[in-house]
Amino acid sequence: MDVKTGFFYLFSVVLLFAAFRVVTARNPVHAVLYLMLAFSQASAVWLLLNAEFLAFVLVLVYLGAVMVLFLFVVMMLDISIDAMRQGFWRNFPLAATLGAIVALEMAAVLLSGFRLSEAPAMAPGAVPVDNGKALGILLYTEYLMPIQIAAAILLVAMIAAIALTLRTRKDSKAIDPSIQVKVRAADRMQLVKMAPTQAAPAPQAPTETAAAEVKK
């Protein structure tokens, strides 16, 4: 087994473990982090299979944009884990059925094999370049303007997510150390003058109801 095959199995094992933890993790933030790990391992597998375009799209779009924004949303929301787990066993048969269908479809594709046709011959005089370099040339020459627009949209979305995360909330229990330092003792403590001795209260006469209960 060569080095490339060893890396393929390593990335595949980590990918399967991360996908399993996405489903079984109790904390939604941990589930999102495991999903980001699964996407990174899948992009590495695509790179080993010489599919650089799919690997770049997976990293830039899903891992770099969608998952980061999704992580911000999960961290901003006050998600009740106990409420999320209610009805798990009620929906488990449907989820198991869908998972079995997906597994059977993937098994059918893998067992039947990929019917790949031969790549077309290169034009005479063309300079052979790898997929990554050819993709970079296309992105920064013919598709430069769409790339810049997409980058600006993602930047605005990330800034908006950070602003929403750092907003002031009424139910926040965060403490500002600078305010604590500026507090004076006169603002925290107030002395109240009281007489050194106080007369004891006079005993109250027993009421008629209490006297009747005593006679009984």
List, in order of start, the domains of the chain with CATH numbers.
1-80+130-166 (1.20.120.1200)
Q: Is the pTM of this model over 0.75?
A: no
More reliable by pLDDT, 82 or 211: 82
Query: Which residue do the tokens 């059925």 mark?
Result: 97
For residue 57 the two structure tokens come to: 């799209």
Maximum C-alpha span of the chain: 124
pLDDT at 27: 79
Nearest Cα to Cα of residue 164 among 77, 63, 80: 77
pLDDT at 216: 57
pLDDT band at 17 (very low <50, low <70, confident <90, very high): very high
**Average of pLDDT values for 169-192?**
74
> What would the pLDDT profile of 19-65 be if each residue is shown by its tens digit?
889 888 877 778 888 888 898 899 999 888 888 888 888 887 887 77
